Amino acid sequence: MKPNRFKYRFIFYLIVILLSTNSISQDFKAEDYGMLFNFKSIKQPDNTRLLEVSFNARSEADSKVIIPIYGAEIKFLNAVDNKDEVIGTSKTSKDGIAKFIVPENFKYLKDKEGNINIVARFEGTDAIDSEEEIITLKDVHLELELKEIDSVKTAIAKIYTLNNLGEEIPVEADFSLYVNSMFAKFKIGEGSVSDGEFEYHFEFPTDLPGDINDELTVFLMIEDHDEFGNVVQMKKAKWGMTHTHKKEKKLALWTKSAPIWMYVVLTILLVGVWANYFYTMVNLFKIKNEGDQFESRL
């Protein structure tokens, strides 16, 4: 009978869950929410490109109420001259995030100005209208070198694009330098390249703590640029402050030496015990002698 009871309980709980889910879905009305569809692109240190869409619904009545759109299929396309080439597809997670990584060797279609147009598209459903956002950018290359020049730790940033012949062309761009910290990236400086320059030399701080091996992770980043979008390059170097680890003396019962206070306390205790024994023996002899004297008088 126990298995049957368990079976009926399981069915009962399942019905309750389904009913509660239906009530939630009935309360949610798409027309009461505005859709937030945000698309960004990040060129990563390995020259792959991360395409990321954040898809959420925000309540018209209360802007603080934001619900992630889960399971929405997002198409990423490379568009040029009214022609779309599918790069890949991805579905949004429970957080409303869809990600797709474009391989390093992907051949982008470019327009006459050399721009890459990437489209993020949601086709729409009966409940939610279609959404689309396009990013237009030029492919830029970042190089980061960490080396000591005349005993000075120096970060060398190189930024350029390639023309149709594969030749390096200098560009104008602002960038920032970060190091990895415990909770987030820590900004240590910024600079720019212009007037046909390829490189920028940055004198690196010498008072930054590294990891357990005194190693620092350095990031060179172009952020939210009008032409290049977001681009990241990364290098590691043992440029962190040297950690000096003090070896603590651990005292235990089995070590060869103990703290002085232990010797003092133990000596006092032993002296007290033996003094008590001596005092007791003296009193026993006195009692015995007094008893013998009392008997002789009788």
pLDDT in tens, 200-232: 888 888 888 877 888 899 999 999 999 999 999
Residues 147 and 133 in one domain: no
The pTM assigned to this predicted structure is 0.69
pLDDT at position 203, please? 87
Contact indicator for 133, 140 with CB cutoff of 8 Å: no
- 91, 106, 137 - which closes a domain: 137
| Domain match, 83 and 156 both | no
Q: Are residues 164 and 118 in the same domain?
A: no
Percentage, residues of the chain above pLDDT 70: 83
Structural domain includes residue 242: no
Burial bucket for residue 109 (CB in 10 Å: 0-12, 13-18, 19+)? middle
| Closest C-alpha among 156, 117, 160, 124 to residue 141 | 160
**13 band by pLDDT with thresholds 50, 70 and 90:** very low
**Is the pLDDT confidence value at 100 over 90?**
yes
Handedness of CA 163, 168, 171, 175 (dihedral sign): positive
The structure tokens 């240590």 sit at 188
Is 285 inside a domain boundary? no
Q: Would you place residue 244 in the very low, low, confident or very high pLDDT band (cuts 50, 70, 90)?
A: low
209 within a domain of the structure (yes/no): yes
Whether 246 has a pLDDT exceeding 50, the answer reads yes
- Name the band, by pLDDT with cuts 50, 70 and 90, for residue 254: low
Residue 234 CA to chain centroid, in angstroms?
Answer: 15
128 and 171 assigned to the same domain: no
66 and 154 co-located in one domain: no
Residue 48's domain is classified under what CATH number? 2.60.40.10
At 292, the pLDDT band (50, 70, 90 cuts) reads confident
Closest among 94, 96, 99 to 37, alpha carbons compared: 96
Give the CATH number, domain containing residue 212. 2.60.40.1930
pLDDT of 44 strictly over 90: yes
Residue 181 lies in a domain: yes
* More confident call, 81 vs 78: 78
Question: Phi/psi zone of residue 277: left (φ > 0), alpha (ψ -120 to 50 degrees), beta?
Answer: alpha
Q: Which domain holds residue 109?
A: 28-137
Total domains in the chain come to: 2
Distance between CA atoms of residues 48 and 27, nearest Å = 42
Q: pLDDT (tens digit, 9 = 90+) per residue, 142-169?
A: 999 998 888 888 999 999 998 888 889 8
Residue 286 lies in a domain: no
Residue 75 sits in the same domain as residue 153: no
11 assigned to some structural domain: no
Shared-domain flag, residues 119 and 158: no
Rounded distance between C-alpha atoms, residue 292 and residue 39, angstroms: 110
Please classify residue 132 by burial: count the beta carbons closer than 10 Å to its beta carbon, then call 0-12 exposed, 13-18 middle and 19+ buried.
middle
Look at residue 182 and tell me whether its pLDDT is greater than 90. Answer: no
Domain membership flag for residue 133: yes
Any domain includes 108: yes
Q: How far apart are alpha carbons 207 and 240 in whole angstroms?
A: 7
Report the C-alpha gap between 72 and 90 in whole angstroms. Answer: 8
Same domain, 80 and 107: yes
Residue ending a domain, choose from 137, 158, 188 = 137
Among residues 184, 206, 237, the one where a domain terminates is 237
